[in-house]
Amino acid sequence: MVKNTDSKSSAKKAKLVPTAGYILVKPLEAQTKTSSGIYLPETAGEKPQKGKVLAVGAAEITDSGIKKTPPCKAGDTIVYKKWGGSEVKIDGVEYLFAKFEDILAIEK
């Protein structure tokens, strides 16, 4: 039996819904080959900083009453802070919950 590892199906299977002010991200795989064709060992790889947005929480209301809207939408590929967010592993799949302010850029 072939197991489907598509990010959409894994997010639906896990049924994860981020709370207000958070974004659910599926980190992209770390690069294992350099541009010159040299393969890197797993231990040499850096923590990925890009990922695909699976779900977005509601707008966050700050203590001062300001409404922070989400900077991206589901399906976007984003760049996030290197040490931002909280990693969660469910059924062998790694996810990242990042705060709105952890998002650095949206890839177009």
| Inside any domain, residue 54 | yes
**Which domain does 102 fall in, by range?**
11-30+46-107
* Tally of structural domains, the chain: 1
Here the CATH number for the domain that contains residue 94 is: 2.30.33.40
Question: Would you mind telling me the total number of residues written for the chain in this entry?
Answer: 108
| Inside any domain, residue 38 | no
14-65 tens-digit pLDDT: 588 999 999 999 998 766 666 777 766 665 556 678 999 999 999 999 899 9
| Inside any domain, residue 51 | yes
Euclidean distance between CA atoms 14 and 107, whole angstroms: 26
Q: Are 100 and 21 in contact (CB under 8 A)?
A: yes
pTM, two decimal places? 0.72
Euclidean distance between CA atoms 39 and 2, whole angstroms: 28
Q: Are 10 and 89 in contact (CB under 8 A)?
A: no
Q: Residue type at 18? A: P
